[in-house]
């Protein structure tokens, strides 16, 4: 499976009464796909899945699946957690719905490297869809070295990894320097997209791409064509925007900007998240305006 491209992990928009604004979610999915996104992610961290009810999660996935089918786009669905059996059960529900499952390294329990490998081996044997490993050690408490990542990459049924390590570290460099065939690395830290593309990443899953989808797609195209004259300055501007967007806990600033643009009805997030401050929203809007300045 080819996971080359920019994927947008959709926010879950809320109406004034606090319910999920499904019509708005549909319009948002259509808009990012129209601007060139290769697909969308439903129930990624940006979508606040921990604060959604089971019914709300199903509704979100159903909307995204329908739009992706209509557009011929890739649907990635966030699934899995700390418990291997429950993760396998969640993956079973994606049969005929998702193209790929975004599955985190088991959070909170901090298994050994061998336990991580056993966890994913169990899931690949049972999952009806390919797995994209979500490596985000500052959330899971489970850093993985390049050797373990490569062993995971060689598992049948694993098609790639979303790397959100907070830096371009030595393990990332080693992994991208010797990728197994058919294994895609996607940037998971918005501000580090350009350096990861330079090292050979296939694209990214980027919350900031809600706000400038076409520009992120343009950056990927520039790197693919080795057009560094345009890629470097655009990469710097997009990184500046990403830093502004992530100056407060995600997805508060993304939602605030989308609401200011009239693309979602409210900037609301659910507790324990809090709405973005006016200062953070203003900074992000200024950075967005500067993209074309």
What pLDDT digit, counting tens, does each position of 28-74 carry?
999 999 999 999 999 999 999 999 999 999 999 999 999 999 999 99
253 belongs to a structural domain: no
Answer yes or no: 108 catalytic. no
Q: In the numeric block, which tokens belong to residue 170? A: 């030595």
- Residue 271: CB partners within 8 Å, gap ≥ 6? 51
Note the pLDDT tens digit of each residue in 178-233. Answer: 899 999 999 999 999 999 999 999 999 999 999 999 999 999 999 999 888 899 99
261 belongs to a structural domain: no
- Residue 20: CB partners within 8 Å, gap ≥ 6? 12, 13, 14, 52, 56, 59, 60
Instruction: Indicate the DSSP class of residue 179.
Output: P
191 belongs to a structural domain: yes
256 belongs to a structural domain: no
22 belongs to a structural domain: yes
According to the model, what pLDDT value does residue 293 have? 60
- Residue 83: CB partners within 8 Å, gap ≥ 6? none
- Residue 209: CB partners within 8 Å, gap ≥ 6? 6, 7, 8, 32, 37, 190, 216
* Number of alpha carbons in the 13 Å side-chain half-sphere of residue 34: 6
Residue 223: give the domain boundaries.
5-227
Note the pLDDT tens digit of each residue in 158-184. Answer: 999 999 998 898 989 999 998 999 999
According to the model, what pLDDT value does residue 164 have? 94
* Nearest in space to 7 (alpha carbons), one of 153, 121, 162, 111: 162
Query: Is 90 exceeded by the pLDDT of residue 292?
Result: no
Note the pLDDT tens digit of each residue in 90-121. Answer: 999 999 999 999 999 999 999 999 999 999 99
Beta bridge partners of 39: 7, 74
Answer yes or no: 134 catalytic. yes
pTM of the model: 0.97
* Average pLDDT in the chain: 96
What's the distance, Cα to Cα, between the start and end of the chain in Å? 38
148 belongs to a structural domain: yes
Note the pLDDT tens digit of each residue in 61-88. Answer: 999 999 999 999 999 999 999 999 999 9
Query: Is 80 exceeded by the pLDDT of residue 251?
Result: yes
Length of the chain (residues): 293
Q: What is the CATH number of the domain that holds 202?
A: 3.20.20.70
Please report which residue ranges of the chain form alpha helices under DSSP H: 22-34, 54-71, 84-92, 113-126, 137-140, 146-153, 170-177, 193-199, 213-224, 228-245, 252-260, 278-290
| Catalytic one of 7, 57, 108, 162 | 162
Domains: count for the chain: 1
52 belongs to a structural domain: yes
Mean pLDDT for 232-257 is: 97
292 belongs to a structural domain: no
| Catalytic one of 7, 57, 108, 134 | 134
Q: Is 80 left (phi over 0), alpha (psi -120 to 50) or beta?
A: left
């Amino acid at each position: 499976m080819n996971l080359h491209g920019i994927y947008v992990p959709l926010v879950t928009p809320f109406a004034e009464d606090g319910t999920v604004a499904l019509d708005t979610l549909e319009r948002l999915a259509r808009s990012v796909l129209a601007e060139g996104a290769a697909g969308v992610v439903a129930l990624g961290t940006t979508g606040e899945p921990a604060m959604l009810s089971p019914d709300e999660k199903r509704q979100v996935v159903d909307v995204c699946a329908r739009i992706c089918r209509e557009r011929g786009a890739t649907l990635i669905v966030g699934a899995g957690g700390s418990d291997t059996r429950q993760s396998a059960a969640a993956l079973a529900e994606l049969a005929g719905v998702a193209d790929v499952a975004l599955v985190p390294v088991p959070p909170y329990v901090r298994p050994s490297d061998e336990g991580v490998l056993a966890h994913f081996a169990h899931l690949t044997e049972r999952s009806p869809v390919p797995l994209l490993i979500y490596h985000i050690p500052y959330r899971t408490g489970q850093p993985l070295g390049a050797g373990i990542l490569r062993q995971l990459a060689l598992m049948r049924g694993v098609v790639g990894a979303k790397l959100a390590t907070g830096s371009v570290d030595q393990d990332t460099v080693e992994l991208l320097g010797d990728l197994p065939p058919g294994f895609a690395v996607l940037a998971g830290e918005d501000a580090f997209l350009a350096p990861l593309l330079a090292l050979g990443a296939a694209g990214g899953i980027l919350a900031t791409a809600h706000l400038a989808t076409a520009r992120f797609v343009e950056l990927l195209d520039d790197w693919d064509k080795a057009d560094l004259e345009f890629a470097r300055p655009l990469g710097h501007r997009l990184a500046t925007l990403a830093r502004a967007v992530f100056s407060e806990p995600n997805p508060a600033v993304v939602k605030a900007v989308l609401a200011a643009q009239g693309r979602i009805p409210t900037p609301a997030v659910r507790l324990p998240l809090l709405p973005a401050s006016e200062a953070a929203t203003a900074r992000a809007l200024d950075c967005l305006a500067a993209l074309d300045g």
